[in-house]
A and B are shown apart, each in its own frame.
Chain A
């Protein structure tokens, strides 16, 4: 039977899950010797809360359940944390995780909706996920079952003009079952997001376009869960949560240099072991 996942979440339980997903993201990318672990870590609270914090309504054993809430990882390069969440939920087998990026594996470098159950959209070309999610949310509205679509974008991703096309259309149609999050980790590929293309005041920009906006600490459980619960109370507008995060959260090695040196770069096996211990002991 489709049901929400668990009762009132307990942040200690969520933190245990989050650590597992973070550790998987590191192990998987280190084994693949490629990928984007730092981009997974900044989004780890958001993804954990959505799947395991009683936020999304879904049936892990039946990922195609038509009335499900949907999650689109628009910043598709953070695929490992999505795959780890799907394994934690039980949609895919955990023993597939370490096949990330291998030929023949459905766990491709970026999510492929045609190959892996539970993946709602094929992403990897940044800027398209919000539009896809908008279409999904409008489709869900036509279905009339009260389902929602959640989407996580990168902050650099918001540079794309298509994002703002979707922002305007979402406001026009008052798509209040669309809940978008920006993983505001302040870095993109070529360095500090502010130096690549200034986006501040981000929250005000979305608000000026007619969205309900929340500005939160993306690594504070109370803030993340509170914002997502509030966002589920529809008020006629789509919601944007600007989640301030740290690229490489929990790993000193990356936090020392979250700029271009650690975008799209896996940890070495030694660095990975140190990082995993650091996460476990935190």
Chain B
């Protein structure tokens, strides 16, 4: 996969690795941090924290529900409890525990779902988290994060730990193109604008940010200047940035490695509909389960491509 290569982006680490390294490196700075795993720490990368801090790492087996409620109990004794699994298993298998043990009491629990999206590739649909953003957005009190690259993931891991209260962060399996410099100045809840433009706005998260930048280059070659926003915080949404995009560019395309139901696209469309209506085209997985395949093949087949974003931008502009 070489997303962003033709516009000069270099490939960084997977966001799950950047998260795992940051978590390990932050252990001393956050002495109240404990980590609970459900037998996938070598996939989610919390294992690296566990190897360095065995007394602060609990392995509870393939039991996501218990893991989440137990983390809430640990948090109730004044700790920050981070628990992690594949995004699909964590958010779907333990949804009621996230709702009742974490969200409702505003427990200081950090939930990290790895293997988000279809770019995990060959393992196929059972392992693909494509509904996690919708589920996590639907829990009051939760902050929902989706870093675009390794640099963002490292910074946002720290910010997640600094934040008092429940947070969900999704990470990805493949190496991700770097769209941010090292230690980017990102703030939870504040959109990061990566490119200025007045004709259309591309609002993306995760791996799709790099594709949005590619699409912006292609549009620019045709004289269309696209604003590109990395919406790394899905909730609370930076509504001011969305409203400004609607007012100043009049057309929006969203792009996410998630179902079009309930994720970034619907959050943005809900915001514009209420505050500053404009056409919003949503790039994402279109109400279907995906399949096994190579990551690049899957992204192409399921309509997650720079070409799809370009086409959607033209459509949105035509509707304006």
Residues of A within 8 A of B (CB): 66, 70, 112-114, 120-125, 127-128, 131-140, 142-143, 149, 161-162, 165-166, 168-169, 172-173
The 7 closest A-B pairs by CB, nearest first: A135-B73, A139-B77, A131-B69, A165-B66, A165-B63, A135-B70, A136-B73
B60 adjacent to chain A (CB < 8 Å): yes
A114 to chain B, nearest CB (A): 6
Point out the residues of chain B lying under 8 angstroms from A122, CB to CB: 100-101, 104-105
A131's partner among B65, B78, B99, B104 (CB-CB below 8 A) is: B65
Contact between A135 and B78, CB atoms less than 8 A apart: no
Q: A133-B73, A138-B73, A139-B73 are in contact. Are A128 and B78 (CB under 8 A)?
A: no
B190 contacts chain A at the CB level, 8 A cutoff: no
- Specify the chain A residue showing the minimal Cβ separation from B34: A142
> Cβ of A66 and Cβ of B69 under 8 Å apart?
no
CB contacts (< 8 Å) of A149 on chain B: these are 73
Q: Does B81 contact A (CB under 8 A)?
A: yes
What is the CA–CA distance of A168 and B65 in the complex, to the nearest angstrom?
13
Whether B74 pairs with A114 at a CB distance below 8 angstroms is: no
Contact A135 B61 (CB under 8 A): no
Q: Mark B57-82, 1 if CB is under 8 A from A, else 0.
A: 01011010110111111111111010
A128 in contact with B76 given A114-B105, A122-B105, A162-B97 (CB within 8 Å)? no
Asked if residues A168 and B61 are in contact (CB atoms below 8 Å), the reply is: yes
Contacts of B58 in A (CB 8 A): 138, 169, 173
- Contact of B34 with A132 in the complex, beta carbons under 8 Å: no
Task: Judge whether A162 and B74 touch: CB under 8 Å.
Answer: no
Q: How far is the CA of A127 from the CA of B100 in the complex (A)?
A: 11
User: Bound complex: CA of A173 vs CA of B78, how far in Å?
Assistant: 20
CB of B141 to closest CB in A, whole Å: 10
Q: Determine if B96 is an interface residue (Cβ-Cβ < 8 Å).
A: yes
Is the CB–CB distance between B77 and A166 below 8 Å?
no
**B247 on the interface (CB 8 Å rule)?**
no
In the bound complex, residues from chain A placing their C-beta under 8 Å from that of B60 are 165, 168-169, 172
List B2-21 residues whose CB lies under 8 Å from chain A: none
Give which listed residue, B66, B74, B99, B100, contacts A138 with CB less than 8 A. Answer: B74
User: In chain B between 87 and 127, which residues have their CB closer than 8 angstroms to a CB of chain A?
Assistant: 96-97, 99-101, 104-106
A136 and B76 CA atoms in complex are apart in Å by 6
Task: With a 10 A CB-CB cut-off, give which of B65, B79, B96 has the most chain A CB atoms.
Answer: B65
Mask for B144-157, Cβ within 8 A of A = 1, else 0? Answer: 00000000000000
- When the two chains form the complex, which single residue of A125, A132, A169, A172 contacts B76, counting CB atoms closer than 8 Å? A132
A162–B65 contact, CB under 8 A?
yes
- Partner of A165 from the list B34, B65, B74 (CB cut-off 8 Å) is B65
Assess the A128–B101 pair: CB atoms within 8 A: yes
With A135-B81, A139-B78 as known contacts, state yes or no: A125 contacts B100, CB within 8 Å.
yes
B99 to chain A, nearest CB (A): 8
Contact across chains for B96 and A169 when beta carbons are under 8 A apart? no
Contact with A along B177-200 (1 / 0, CB 8 A): 000000000000000000000000
Contacts of A70 in B (CB 8 A): 76
Q: Select one of B76, B78, B79, B97 contacting A121, CB under 8 A.
A: B76
Residue of A nearest to B75 (CB): A135
What B residues does A66 contact at CB under 8 A? Answer: 78
With beta carbons under 8 angstroms apart, the residue of A124, A125, A136, A169 that contacts B77 is A136
Expressed in whole angstroms, the minimum distance between the Cβ of B21 and any Cβ of chain A is 24
Chain B residue with the shortest CB-CB distance to A70: B76
- B65 pairs with A161, CB closer than 8 A: yes
The distance in angstroms between the C-alpha atoms of A162 and B79, with both chains bound, is: 22
Closest residue of chain A to B79 (Cβ to Cβ) is A139
Distance from A162 Cβ to chain B, minimum over Cβ atoms (Å): 4
Contact with A along B31-74 (1 / 0, CB 8 A): 00010000000000000000000000010110101101111111
Query: Which residues on the B side are within 8 Å of A120 (C-beta)?
Result: 76
Whether the Cβ atoms of B105 and A138 lie closer than 8 Å is no
Distance of B248 from chain A, by nearest CB (Å): 40
Residues of B within 8 A of A138 (CB): 58, 70, 73-74
Give chain B residues whose Cβ lies under 8 Å from the Cβ of A132. Answer: 69-70, 72-73, 76, 101
Contact: A169 with B65, CB < 8 Å? no
A142 contact from B75, B77, B96, B104, Cβ within 8 A: B77
8 other contacts beyond A122-B105, A132-B73, A137-B73, with CB at 8 A cut-off? Answer: A121-B101, A123-B100, A124-B100, A134-B66, A136-B74, A136-B76, A139-B74, A162-B69
For B63, list chain A residues within 8 Å (CB).
Answer: 162, 165, 168-169
Q: How far is the CA of A132 from the CA of B107 in the complex (A)?
A: 11
Which residues of chain B have C-beta atoms less than 8 A from A123's C-beta? Answer: 100
The one of B66, B72, B81, B100 in contact with A166, judged by C-beta atoms closer than 8 angstroms, is B66
How far, in whole Å, are A165 and B68 apart by their CA atoms in the complex? 11
Least distance between B53 CB and chain A CB atoms (Å):
12
**Distance (whole angstroms) from the CB of A238 to the closest CB of chain B:** 13
By the criterion CB–CB under 8 Å, are B106 and A114 in contact? yes
Bound state CA distance, A135 and B72, in angstroms?
Answer: 7
A139 to B73, CA, bound (A): 8
**Residues of the A chain whose Cβ atoms lie less than 8 Å from the Cβ of B66:** 131, 134, 162, 165-166, 169
Instruction: Jot down 5 A-B pairs with beta carbons below 8 A, ordered by A.
Output: A66-B78, A70-B76, A112-B104, A121-B72, A169-B58
